[in-house]
Amino acid sequence: MSTISIKNLRKTYGPYVAVDDLTFEIPDACVFGLLGPNGAGKTTTFKCMLGLARATSGSVLYDGAPLVPETLERIAYVPERSVLYEWMTVGEHIEMQRRAYRKFSVARARELLAQFGIDLRKKARALSKGMRTATMVALAIARESDILILDEPTSGLDPINQRHVLNLIINESARGATVIFSSHQIGQVERAAERIAVIDRGRLALEGNVDDLKADRKIVEGILPSETFALNGLAGDPHILRLDRNGRIVRAVTSSDAGEVLAKFEALGASGLRIVDLNLEDIFLYAVSPADATADVVEGH
């Protein structure tokens, strides 16, 4: 069992609030995607989860218990930037991890590094950014850990290797590991993740199951009889997250029950009604963009 509970997590650096009142849960054997703009607080969240930073308040619990050194035996982490020792070879990094952890498969590490085309004798400073990321990914997966946390694991990699990393994540999930990863490539998160959380400016903007979110969040579109047609407080509807109006076209992003909202549009006198599906990128962008956007509305597919 490897559930992770984050409760009211708050981390400040002096006057700067990095994350505030974050609460969500990562169930056992789930692939959990963490999304957010740059500087939103994703890396800070990871650091608090791993004890690399001390939370100002709130808690992170692993199966109900706080993090202790022993827990780290079950967690593998791939940070966003390279933490490899520039002066050590890839092979020496393998040896280092082998000695540090009870469970570490040298054979698997070598296999993965070979797949990425990384020479074990090379010093870390001789590797490109993408290859350093790939090395860290290989070292983490060779741990065969219960929990795998990856911060932007595909940055710097070419598309083939990006797909390879994604497949490795899926393989880990199939093995039963709990995987948490953040990525700016929302398409990757869309493929691999079951649940996501969106963090924006340190706060939780959105959280839930990907399929449920896609089922609930739709755009209901209608054409009003005139540009100045009154909406009669439609924006206050509890199912509507935001309402955008562009001339005669009105679009509502729903949080649920798109059908009901459609009926309301119809009752109001709108025509040309349709429901548009949203993909994860759309859902994410709506979650983080300011609520008062009017003219520019992102199109769904």
Partner 1 sequence: MPVVLTVDPRSGVPIYLQVIEQVKRSVALGVLAAGEQLPTVKQLALDLTINPNTVAKAYRELERDGVIETAAGRGSFVRGNGSIETTKTAATDVARDAIDAAVREAKSIGLLADDIRTLASAAIDRWFREDA
Partner 2 sequence: MNYVEWLRVRNALRVTAICLGISIVVALVVRISIAAQFGSTHDIVNRLGAEKDTVTTHSVVDGFNRTTLTNAREHTVVVIEDQADGSKIIQITEPGNSAHSNSVSMGPVRVSTSESGGVEKTTIETNRPVPFGIYAAIAAVIALIIATVLGAPFAKENDGHLEIAFLKPVSRTNNALGVVLADCVGILVAEVMTVLAFAIMQAFFEVPHFDFSGINSTAILLAIALPFSWYTFLNASTASLKRGAGAVVGLAWPAAFVSIALAGLNLGTSIAGQTFHTIFWSISRIFPLTYVQFEGHDNDLSSLGPKLMTTAAILTGLFLVYGALAVVQWRRVEA
Whether 250 and 244 have beta carbons less than 8 Å apart is answered as yes
The CA distance from 219 to 237, in Å, is 14
The one among 23, 59, 246, 271 contacting partner 1 by CB under 8 A: 271
The site map against partner 1 for 215-254 (x = CB under 8 A) is x---------------------------------------
Beta-sheet strands, E only, within the chain:
4-13, 16-26, 31-35, 57-62, 65-66, 75-78, 147-151, 178-182, 195-200, 203-209, 218-223, 240-246, 249-254, 271-277
| Placement of tokens 């000695």 in the chain | 99
Cβ count near 211 (within 10 Å)? 10
The one among 29, 96, 118, 273 contacting partner 2 by CB under 8 A: 96
Any idea what DSSP says for residue 70? G
Q: Is 171 one of the binding residues for partner 1 (CB under 8 A)?
A: yes
Nearest one of 258, 253, 263, 234 to 300, comparing CA atoms: 253
Q: Is 120 one of the binding residues for partner 2 (CB under 8 A)?
A: no
The CA distance from 131 to 137, in Å, is 10
The one among 65, 99, 238, 301 contacting partner 2 by CB under 8 A: 99
98 by DSSP, 3-state: which?
helix
The one among 119, 158, 211, 227 contacting partner 1 by CB under 8 A: 211
Q: Please say which residue, 132 or 217, places its beta carbon nearer to partner 2.
A: 132
The site map against partner 1 for 97-136 (x = CB under 8 A) is ----------------------------------------
The one among 214, 239, 242, 248 contacting partner 1 by CB under 8 A: 214
**Closest approach of partner 1 to the CB of residue 36, in Å:** 19
Q: Is 296 one of the binding residues for partner 2 (CB under 8 A)?
A: no
**Closest approach of partner 2 to the CB of residue 77, in Å:** 6
Burial tier of 72 (Cβ tally within 10 Å: 0-12, 13-18, 19+)? middle
The one among 17, 29, 61, 72 contacting partner 2 by CB under 8 A: 72
Region binding partner 2 by CB under 8 A among candidate stretches 22-30, 46-54, 56-64, 187-195: 46-54
Q: Is 27 one of the binding residues for partner 2 (CB under 8 A)?
A: no
CA distances to 37, 47, 121, 264 from 201, in Å:
8, 16, 42, 34
What are the residues binding partner 1 (CB under 8 A)? 30-31, 163, 166-167, 170-171, 173-174, 187, 190-194, 210-211, 214-215, 271-274, 276-282, 300-301
